[in-house]
A and B are shown apart, each in its own frame.
Chain A
Amino acid sequence: GEDVEQSLFLSVREGDSSVINCTYTDSSSTYLYWYKQEPGAGLQLLTYIFSNMDMKQDQRLTVLLNKKDKHLSLRIADTQTGDSAIYFCAEDSSNTGKLIFGQGTTLQVKP
């Protein structure tokens, strides 16, 4: 079945770059999403990438997609303490409107 995998935890120093990785299994996914969840809050859409793209950049965020390896990454440049949150990767499920989420990666930013 469809599955999305992420590592659970990443710790970086303020000002460094963060790279959060995700692997997925559904090769028919047309869009892949990154959501951010701050403590005690719901999920906020950060960015998404169409499956025929390799890269998408949006200010400090860069999304890289390797379709062959079914690997997605989110790079945050100049990471700030306000970037501390849980980051979820998600893929659409064969045009059903459903999303399959990974377990979430907790990003800890140390001053």
Chain B
Amino acid sequence: DVKVTQSSRYLVKRTGEKVFLECVQDMDHENMFWYRQDPGLGLRLIYFSYDVKMKEKGDIPEGYSVSREKKERFSLILESASTNQTSMYLCASSWGRQADQPQHFGDGTRLSIL
């Protein structure tokens, strides 16, 4: 079974802090994704990556950056956390870009910015 592990289930940080959310997958997947989930808005794509050292902006990249130094690890960085970044963050991974490759999700990190 595919395992996608997010480093923290719950995280509380202060406004202005630099925040790192880590995600690791164990299936040698090429693609990795970061989403945020807010009630009534579904999942919105922040950033994604098709390979090591590659990154692509999703629909809402402002205020975020990412790092993919190794294939199995994809980090989401909040450069200067703000209260409107309080949300549930979900990481996912998948094989190639073919349409029949579903995404597999971690359990999520619930981030609160005070």
Contact = CB atoms under 8 A, between A and B. Distances in A.
Interface of A: 4, 8, 29-31, 33, 35, 40-45, 48, 50, 88, 92, 95-99, 101-104
Interface residues of B, number: 28
B98 interface: yes
A45 B97 contact: no
Interface of B: 4, 31, 33, 35, 40-43, 45, 48, 50, 58, 90, 92, 94, 96-108
Contact of A88 (B33, B42, B107): B42
B108 A41 contact: yes
Contact of B105 (A30, A43, A96): A43
A35 B108 CA distance: 15
A48 B94 CA distance: 15
Nearest to B101: A97
Contacts of B45: 98
24 contacts: A29-B99, A31-B99, A31-B102, A42-B4, A42-B90, A42-B105, A42-B107, A42-B108, A43-B90, A43-B103, A44-B105, A45-B102, A45-B104, A88-B42, A95-B97, A97-B31, A97-B50, A97-B94, A97-B96, A97-B101, A98-B33, A103-B40, A103-B42, A104-B42
